[in-house]
A = this chain, B = another copy of it.
Amino acid sequence: MIVVMRHGASKENVDNVIKFIESKNRVAHVSQGESHTIIGAVGESDIDPREFELLDGVKEVVKISSSYKLVSRIFQHEDTLIEVNGEKFGAGHVGMIAGPCTIENEEQIEECARLMASYGVKIIRGGAFKPRTSPYSFQGLGEEGLKLIRRAADKYNLAVVSEVMEIGQIPLFEKYADMLQVGARNMQNFNLLKELSKINKPIVLKRGLSATINEWLMAAEYILSGGNRDVILCERGIRTFEVATRNTLDLCAIPVVKKLSHLPIIVDPSHGTGLRDKVEPMSLASVAAGCDGLMLEVHNKPECALCDGAQSLYPEQFNELYKKLKVLAPVVGKTF
């Protein structure tokens, strides 16, 4: 934390700040500038900069941003590579996850799995527990859904990723899924993150609707600090004033995260835009911006989907996009 004193702050003001820093068991480093005096207070433990803003003579207080460690590129310089069922994310590889928003019934998930496998996809997505804004909306098939997607995936040699919503559901996911997804609304469900840090499967951690990149990396730190190093970050749009799209996809988060962290970052343009016809341009843009993978919603019959059909690709659309991505990736130096 750094305290910038006001131009003209008295010696008494400065001494008062120093004394306060020392009362917090920190060492104060004073630097007397031409127009401002700057006082640094560095150390490991927490200190709340706002406490200083209220002291006399203080112009502003700057917090050195919260220190994730394990997720930082300082801690580990090389990209983390995560491989699931032969599909690679990070370290120059672009991986693909595709499938329906929701597991609806045996026939639907079977058909989706068959289609995905036929296009070369190795990891299928599908929700069994659905976070829904309204208590009166379809809430997912639960364990039955997980069984259905597991069976379909096994038949076509696919891995399964699905969203876990609370601690009590973890055993089910240990049994039926290969990767666990944490949804945007749960990004700061710290108790859930702590439990996920103890399991042995990769976690896809979606960015919260109003989470800064720093908060997102701190959420990942919860998982790594408990022992699970396999976290894939997933950008899925932030909430802004713009209403033309469901969310505002923040693609610049890709190079920002790649600089700060060694973890792979993928993009979900289906939720990020909310409209099927925006998924292709945003998928291409994501790969061009340097992402390590994509998570796409595809449905065998989008117009009949129980949830989010409007943002689901038709199978043939997905196939066309998949081919374009294969051409694009090498142009930006990636393997896909």
User: Hey, which bits of chain A sit against chain B, CB under 8 A?
Assistant: 2, 4, 6-8, 20, 23, 27, 29-36, 38, 40, 42-44, 46, 48-51, 53-54, 59-60, 62, 64-68, 74, 129, 131-138, 165-168, 185-186, 188-192, 194, 209-210, 212-215, 218, 221-222, 225-226, 238-246, 248-256, 259, 272-278, 281-282, 284-290, 302-303, 307-311, 324, 327-328, 331-332
Contact = CB atoms under 8 A, between A and B. Distances in A.
A53 to B, nearest CB: 7
Contact of A188 (B133, B225, B241): B133
Nearest to A311: B50
A127 to B, nearest CB: 13
Contacts of A276: 54
A282 B289 contact: yes
A61 to B, nearest CB: 10
A165 B138 contact: no
A300 to B, nearest CB: 16
A133 B309 contact: no
Contacts of A246: 50
Given A46-B138, A241-B212, A250-B242, A32 B33 contact: no
A242 B309 CA distance: 25
Nearest to A260: B244
Given A32-B29, A65-B60, A166-B192, A50 B210 contact: no
16 contacts: A27-B34, A29-B31, A51-B310, A68-B134, A135-B194, A135-B218, A209-B210, A212-B241, A212-B243, A212-B244, A213-B242, A245-B252, A252-B282, A255-B278, A324-B331, A324-B332
B218 A4 contact: no
A189 B186 CA distance: 7
A8 B67 CA distance: 14
A317 B329 CA distance: 21
Nearest to A31: B29
Contacts of A221: 134-135
Contacts of A215: 133
What's the number of copies of this chain in the assembled complex? 4
A214 B311 CA distance: 21
Contacts of A166: 166-167, 189, 191-192
B285 A256 contact: no
A66 B137 CA distance: 10
A218 B166 CA distance: 20
A169 to B, nearest CB: 8
Given A274-B50, A277-B54, A303-B20, A284 B332 contact: yes
Contacts of A53: 275, 310
Contacts of A238: 240-242, 248
Most chain B CB atoms below 10 A, which of A35, A194, A239, A259: A239
A188 B210 CA distance: 13
Given A7-B74, A50-B274, A249-B250, 19 more contacts: A6-B74, A23-B303, A36-B64, A49-B310, A50-B246, A50-B275, A50-B311, A51-B309, A54-B275, A54-B276, A131-B188, A133-B188, A135-B226, A165-B191, A167-B168, A168-B191, A210-B239, A242-B253, A288-B289
